Chains A and B, each alone.
Chain A
Amino acid sequence: MIKQALQHYLFGSASCIAMFAFLGVFLGTLFWVNRKDAKKYYSYIQNLPLDETQD
């Protein structure tokens, strides 16, 4: 049963499922990085490599 389902359903639509999964991840991340409070966080964290105490 499962095998048949895999063969007849999944194979044909694997690309579709995959595309939607990716869209989910992509849009999710996009939404996430543009949240209201993101700016402060990112403007701090992007300067981490430049911290002079590191070298």
Chain B
Amino acid sequence: MSTSTGVINTEKFDHKYDDEIVKYFLMATIIWAGVALLLGIYAALELANYKFNLGLQWLTFGRIRPLHTNAAIFAFGGNGIFAGIYHSSQRLLKTRLFSDKLSWFHFWGWQLIILAAAITLPLGLTQGKEYHELEWPINIAVAIVWIAFGINLLQTIRRRKEPHIYVALWFYIATFVTIALLYVVNSIEIPVSWFNSYPVYAGVQDALVQWWYGHNAVAFFLTTPFLGLMYYYIPKAVNKPVYSYRLSVVHFWSLVFIYIWAGPHHLLNTALPEWAQTLGVIFSVMLWIPSWGGMINGLMTLRGSWDKVKTDPILKFLATGTIFYGMSTFEGPLLSLKSVNEVAHYSDWIIAHVHGGALGWNGFILFGMVYYLVPRLWKTELYNKSLAETHFWLGTIGIVIYIVSMWTAGIAQSMMLNAVDATGHLVYPDFVQTVVRIVPLYYVRSLGGLMYFVGYLLMVYNVVKTIKGAPVALAASAKREEANPVLKLDTQALVQESISEGPHRVLEGFPMVMTVLAVAAVLVGTMIELIPMITSTNAQSEEFAAFKVKPLTSLQLAGRDIYVREGCYLCHSQMIRTTVGDVLRYGPASETADSMYDHPFQWGSKRTGPDLARVGGKYPDLWHVRHLLNPRDIVPQSIMPTYSWLLEQKLDLGTIERRFSVLKMLGVPYSDEDVKNAAENAKKDSIAIAEDLVKQGGPQGLENKEITALVAYLQSLGKQTEKR
């Protein structure tokens, strides 16, 4: 390749950048942003008042919330980074994207995946793991499309006309390889049917793998690509090189190396082994340094140009986005301290934290990029600058309202939940006492979201007007012109020749070397955390030898699958932490053994309702039936949705034998008999529960209805484990 010697082969130069694909990804970004934001506001309102789900199962919080997060991360965020990566890479590499076919396959494939998510999630087809809800056929599609993207990116880099690889591209490469690794490892699951599967990991292992994935999806999907965009678009917008390129190199390697370890901070004070928690805390705190190194580098690029920030909406969005990055990455390490985490975890504080990141950092960087790209791609001026200015202020104030309301709600509720009086008793023994206090804040939060959304609508209007206003003739000529940017090749070649040999070129200029080093950096943390966990927490290990754990019966298992389908885990945890507040409220802390057969684990990440790890036996069956039919019949101030359809829908036992045999294969101690009789046993148990309900004065005719399975499952919680 000509590039390795630094001599540019002018004949081979392909001048045409593919901006058509960039435009498509950009439009998709804008459209999906609206969907994600609307779903967010809707989910927020559902928490403020359950009636917003209109009594329809497809719209309940447990099914809408995954749709919202997937839309925000993968549809809005995903399309946005693809637009930015494809736009900036071509320019940094001075070549057209490797393959038009791959680009379009990537684009349409990604949109189809989003569509599949939009259909399957409301139907309750989910794996029950956060940000990894999509079922296995869609996982495969994601992997294929992601690899298409990777090939397109790496091949474009390989065929570059610029011998050197700017740091933004390193961030893109790290994004591609690490997400591929995370996604594949967290997707190892055994299909039960076309839209149902069980992960091979169970309990604590599943928890660690899931949060290794979940945390690093934030790192390598919502951080590294955005940092790449930051390192490209801030210098572009301010027309100055990045403050310190050296710092960007240190930033990159430290970030990539450290991030991968921090996953366990999602599992502090839980049954996760202590050593893993400690690793998570240490690395989370260390993460503060490279994160701030990056933020400072971004902001210092603006030194001497702050007057421009005042007048240029693009810079306003990019600079403020970077500041939000700094805020979130300061808050993150703070939240990883065990004592802070005791208060913050499971509470709305975490919701505030992620929205500072998502709305402030990701959203604002992408909006800045939209305002930068649309006029340039359509060769015109932005329709209305002050409208963009208004968008910025609405967005900023919206985020502040959102964050402050959720900080308040989270801290207030946790303080109440943990409050103990002089006699050692809980001050607020009923969970719902703490809920009623924060419901008003749920409305305030919706208002913040609404403001952000209105700002977004102004952007849509502005973009449409800008594109419409682009003179047709000009646009056509622009197209031709754009197709032939004149390159000052000779002068460039001269400069490059002098520096294209040497060690920096070798280590920083070859994509393969970079890729291998980046993979090595993330593998170190991955191996040191995951391998000991998987070897030390299996059925034969000491941890479990002290306990006898009964696996679920077939009816209970069917109920568990309904629990997953309805997204109960999005409001309820099944993990009593080792903290005083938790133990006083819910009973002895959860053991690792409690969830050793749980594929997937259901520890949860947010307690909008109480922990359910030991709810079995706490109430009679009829209580649960009435509660699920309408929680307010029992707890008047409850905000839990109604689940009336569970009393009507017939229990689907079509795949129960297969489910049993898959779990047996994965190590759950079922006998062949158990598998063979799974359906029979479930029916028998269901009838028994239904008869009992009638005896207790409950409704008739519930045999073989879904509710019996769910109640059987709820009654099993905390009852399966016995000390030997």
Q: Is B524 part of the binding interface, using a Cβ–Cβ cutoff of 8 Å?
A: yes
Q: Check A41/B282 contact, CB under 8 A, given A25-B257, A46-B245.
A: no
- Output the least CB separation between B286 and chain A (Å): 7
Q: Check A15/B278 contact, CB under 8 A, given A25-B257, A46-B242.
A: yes
Q: Across the interface, do B499 and A21 meet the contact criterion of CB distance under 8 Å?
A: no
Which residues of chain B are within 8 angstroms of A3 by Cβ–Cβ distance?
Answer: 535-536
Which residues of chain A are within 8 angstroms of B236 by Cβ–Cβ distance?
Answer: 49-50
Q: Check A55/B250 contact, CB under 8 A, given A42-B245, A46-B241, A46-B245.
A: no
Q: Across the interface, do A48 and B166 meet the contact criterion of CB distance under 8 Å?
A: yes
Q: Check A41/B499 contact, CB under 8 A, given A25-B254, A46-B241.
A: yes
Q: Which residue of A lies closest to B542 (CB)?
A: A7
Q: Which residue of A lies closest to B532 (CB)?
A: A6
Stretch from B23-31, B134-142, B192-200, B482-490 that touches the partner: B482-490
Q: Across the interface, do B496 and A44 meet the contact criterion of CB distance under 8 Å?
A: yes
In this complex, which of A19, A43, A51 has the most chain B Cβ atoms within 10 angstroms of its Cβ?
A: A51
Question: Which residue of A26, A40, A49 is within 8 Å of B92 (Cβ)?
Answer: A49
Which residues of chain A are within 8 angstroms of B473 by Cβ–Cβ distance?
Answer: none
Which residues of chain A are within 8 angstroms of B249 by Cβ–Cβ distance?
Answer: 29, 32-33
- Output the least CB separation between B272 and chain A (Å): 12
Q: How many residues of A contact B (CB 8 A)?
A: 39
Stretch from B500-508, B618-626, B636-644, B698-706 that touches the partner: B500-508
Question: Which residue of A6, A18, A25, A38 is within 8 Å of B279 (Cβ)?
Answer: A18
CA distance A53 to B17 in the complex (A): 12
Which residues of chain A are within 8 angstroms of B286 by Cβ–Cβ distance?
Answer: 22
Q: Across the interface, do A33 and B505 meet the contact criterion of CB distance under 8 Å?
A: no
Q: Tell me which residues from 48 to 103 in chain B have a Cβ below 8 Å from any Cβ of chain A.
A: 88, 91-92, 94
Q: Across the interface, do B486 and A53 meet the contact criterion of CB distance under 8 Å?
A: yes
Q: Across the interface, do A53 and B282 meet the contact criterion of CB distance under 8 Å?
A: no
CA distance A16 to B589 in the complex (A): 29
Which residues of chain B are within 8 angstroms of A35 by Cβ–Cβ distance?
Answer: 503-504
Q: Which residue of B lies closest to A53 (CB)?
A: B487
- Output the least CB separation between B546 and chain A (Å): 15
Q: Across the interface, do A41 and B246 meet the contact criterion of CB distance under 8 Å?
A: no
CA distance A13 to B254 in the complex (A): 21
Q: Across the interface, do A12 and B275 meet the contact criterion of CB distance under 8 Å?
A: yes
- Output the least CB separation between A18 and chain B (Å): 6
- Output the least CB separation between B315 and chain A (Å): 15
CA distance A11 to B277 in the complex (A): 11
Q: Across the interface, do B499 and A55 meet the contact criterion of CB distance under 8 Å?
A: no
Q: How many residues of B contact A (CB 8 A)?
A: 58
Question: Which residue of B250, B507, B535 is within 8 Å of A30 (Cβ)?
Answer: B250
Which residues of chain B are within 8 angstroms of A47 by Cβ–Cβ distance?
Answer: 241
Q: Is the interface of A mostly helix, strand, loop or mixed?
A: helix
- Output the least CB separation between A53 and chain B (Å): 5
Q: Across the interface, do B232 and A14 meet the contact criterion of CB distance under 8 Å?
A: no
In this complex, which of A18, A30, A33, A48 has the most chain B Cβ atoms within 10 angstroms of its Cβ?
A: A48
Q: Across the interface, do B528 and A6 meet the contact criterion of CB distance under 8 Å?
A: no
Q: Which residue of A lies closest to B15 (CB)?
A: A53
Q: Render B598-635 as a binary contact track against A, CB cut-off 8 A, 1 for contact.
A: 00000000000000000000000000000000000000
Q: Across the interface, do A48 and B162 meet the contact criterion of CB distance under 8 Å?
A: yes
- Output the least CB separation between A10 and chain B (Å): 6
- Output the least CB separation between B400 and chain A (Å): 31
Q: Is B376 part of the binding interface, using a Cβ–Cβ cutoff of 8 Å?
A: yes
- Output the least CB separation between A50 and chain B (Å): 6
Which residues of chain A are within 8 angstroms of B524 by Cβ–Cβ distance?
Answer: 21
- Output the least CB separation between A20 and chain B (Å): 11
Q: Is B551 part of the binding interface, using a Cβ–Cβ cutoff of 8 Å?
A: no
Q: Across the interface, do A50 and B275 meet the contact criterion of CB distance under 8 Å?
A: no
Q: Is B521 part of the binding interface, using a Cβ–Cβ cutoff of 8 Å?
A: yes
Which residues of chain A are within 8 angstroms of B220 by Cβ–Cβ distance?
Answer: none
Question: Which residue of A7, A17, A30, A43 is within 8 Å of B528 (Cβ)?
Answer: A17
Which residues of chain B are within 8 angstroms of A25 by Cβ–Cβ distance?
Answer: 253-254, 257, 521
- Output the least CB separation between A4 and chain B (Å): 10
Q: Is B235 part of the binding interface, using a Cβ–Cβ cutoff of 8 Å?
A: yes
- Output the least CB separation between A33 and chain B (Å): 4
Which residues of chain A are within 8 angstroms of B508 by Cβ–Cβ distance?
Answer: 41, 45
CA distance A32 to B246 in the complex (A): 9
CA distance A24 to B524 in the complex (A): 12
Which residues of chain B are within 8 angstroms of A38 by Cβ–Cβ distance?
Answer: 246, 504
Q: Tell me which residues from 366 to 410 in chain B have a Cβ below 8 Å from any Cβ of chain A.
A: 376
Q: Across the interface, do A49 and B241 meet the contact criterion of CB distance under 8 Å?
A: yes
Q: Across the interface, do B528 and A49 meet the contact criterion of CB distance under 8 Å?
A: no
Which residues of chain B are within 8 angstroms of A10 by Cβ–Cβ distance?
Answer: 528, 532
Question: Which residue of B258, B488, B536 is within 8 Å of A7 (Cβ)?
Answer: B536
Q: Tell me which residues from 505 to 548 in chain B have a Cβ below 8 Å from any Cβ of chain A.
A: 505, 507-508, 521, 524-525, 528-529, 531-532, 535-536
Q: Across the interface, do B164 and A48 meet the contact criterion of CB distance under 8 Å?
A: yes
Q: Is B452 part of the binding interface, using a Cβ–Cβ cutoff of 8 Å?
A: no
Question: Which residue of A11, A18, A26, A48 is within 8 Å of B261 (Cβ)?
Answer: A18
CA distance A40 to B145 in the complex (A): 39
Q: Across the interface, do B250 and A33 meet the contact criterion of CB distance under 8 Å?
A: yes
Q: Across the interface, do A11 and B504 meet the contact criterion of CB distance under 8 Å?
A: no
Q: Across the interface, do A53 and B485 meet the contact criterion of CB distance under 8 Å?
A: yes
- Output the least CB separation between B504 and chain A (Å): 4
Q: Across the interface, do B164 and A44 meet the contact criterion of CB distance under 8 Å?
A: yes
Q: Across the interface, do A53 and B488 meet the contact criterion of CB distance under 8 Å?
A: yes
Q: Which residue of A lies closest to B282 (CB)?
A: A15
* 14 pairs of residues in contact across A and B, judged by CB atoms under 8 Å: A3-B536, A11-B275, A14-B278, A14-B529, A15-B282, A17-B528, A32-B249, A40-B498, A42-B245, A43-B245, A46-B245, A49-B236, A53-B94, A55-B376
Interface set of A (CB-CB < 8 Å, partner B): 2-3, 6-7, 10-12, 14-15, 17-19, 21-22, 25-26, 29-30, 32-35, 37-38, 40-51, 53-55
3 closest A-B pairs by beta carbon, nearest first, are A54-B91, A46-B245, A46-B241
